[in-house]
Structure 1
Amino acid sequence: MAEFATSIDIEAPPEIVFDHLVTVDGMLAWMGQRAELDPRPGGVFAVDIDGNPIRGEFVEVDRPRSVVVTWGLEANDVLPAGSTEVAFRLTPTATGTRVDLTHSNLPESQVPPHAEGWLHFLGILAETAAAAA
C-alpha cells in the first residue's frame, strides 16, 4: 500500500478551515455534491464527488487542529468503503492555516488519481475558506 501527502497554505484561520472539513455546507463549498457528516469518532463520513460515493467514518475530530476520516468507494473492490485513511492536520500560520494532508493505505494504482484529485480540491478549499474568512 502507498501514501500520498501534500500541504497547502490557506489565508483563513484554522477554525474556518476546520468547519470546511466537518460541516455539510463547508464540505460542499469545496468538494462534492452531497454530504452526510457526523463529525465524531465513529460518525458517518459520506460525500458524493462527481458521481463517486465516498464512504467512511470519522476517526479523529480535534477542533481546530485535525480531522481524520476513513475513505473509500461504495461497492468498489479496488478501493472499498473505509479502506484508506485521510488525515488533515491544521497548523496556524502568520497568514492563516497550513493544511498537511496525508492519504494512506492507498493501492499503488490509486495514488495518481487521488494525488490529482487532492491537489485540485485543496485549491478549491483554499479559495472557499479564504472567501469565508
Structure 2
Amino acid sequence: MSEYRTSIDINAAPERVFEFLVTEKGMTAWMGQWASLDPVPGGEFAVDIAGYPARGTFLEVDPPRRVSVSWGFAGNESLPPGASTVSFELTPMGDGTRVEVVHTDLPTAEVAGHKEGWSHFLPRLVQAAAGEEVLPSTWKPVS
C-alpha cells in the first residue's frame, strides 16, 4: 500500500474551508456532482465524481481542524468502498488556511490516478472556499 500527500493554501478561514469538506453544498462546489454526507464518526460519506461513486464513512470530524474519511469506489475491486483513508488537516495561516491532504492505504497502481485527481480538484477547493466562481468540472480519470 502507498500514500499520497499534498497541501494547498486557501485565502479563507479554517471555519469556512471546513464547511466545504462536511456539507453536500460545499463538497459539490469543488468535487463531485452529488453528495450525501453525515459528518459524524461512522456517518455516511458518499460523493459521485465524474460518474464514479466514491463511498466510505467519516472517521474523524474535529471542527475546524481535521476531517478523515474512509474512501473507495463502488464496483472497484482494487479500491472498494472504505479501503483507503483521506485526511484533511486545516492549519490557520495568517488570514487563510493551509490544507494538508494525506491519502493512505492506496494500492500502488492507484496512486498516479489519485494524484492526478487531487491535483485537479484541490485548486477548485481553493476557488470555492475563497468565494470565487467554480465552473463545472469536465475531469475524467486517467484510464
The interval holding the TM-score normalised by the smaller chain is over 0.9
Where does residue 130 of structure 1 map in the other structure? 130
Q: Which amino acid aligns with 1:62?
A: D
CA distance in 2, matches of 1:89, 1:55: 20
Q: Which amino acid aligns with 1:38?
A: D
TM-align CA RMSD: 0.8
**Residue 119 of structure 1: CA displacement?**
1.2
Where does residue 16 of structure 1 map in the other structure? 16
Moved over 6 A (4+): none
Unaligned runs of 5+ in 2: 133-143
Give the structure with the larger helix fraction.
Answer: 1
Q: Which amino acid aligns with 1:3?
A: E
CA distance in 2, matches of 1:49, 1:110: 16
Where does residue 54 of structure 1 map in the other structure? 54
**Residue 95 of structure 1: CA displacement?**
3.1
Alignment of 1:1-133 (within 5 A): 1-131=1-131
CA distance in 2, matches of 1:125, 1:35: 15
Spell out, residue by residue over 1:5-36, the C-alpha distance to the aligned partner (whole angstroms, 9 max, x if none): 00000000001100000000000000000100
Counting matched residue pairs gives: 132
- Percent identity over the alignment is 57
Scaled by the length of structure 2, what TM-score is found? 0.91
Ranked by relative contact order (alpha carbons within 8 Å, sequence separation 6 or more), the top structure is 1
CA distance in 1, matches of 2:16, 2:113: 27
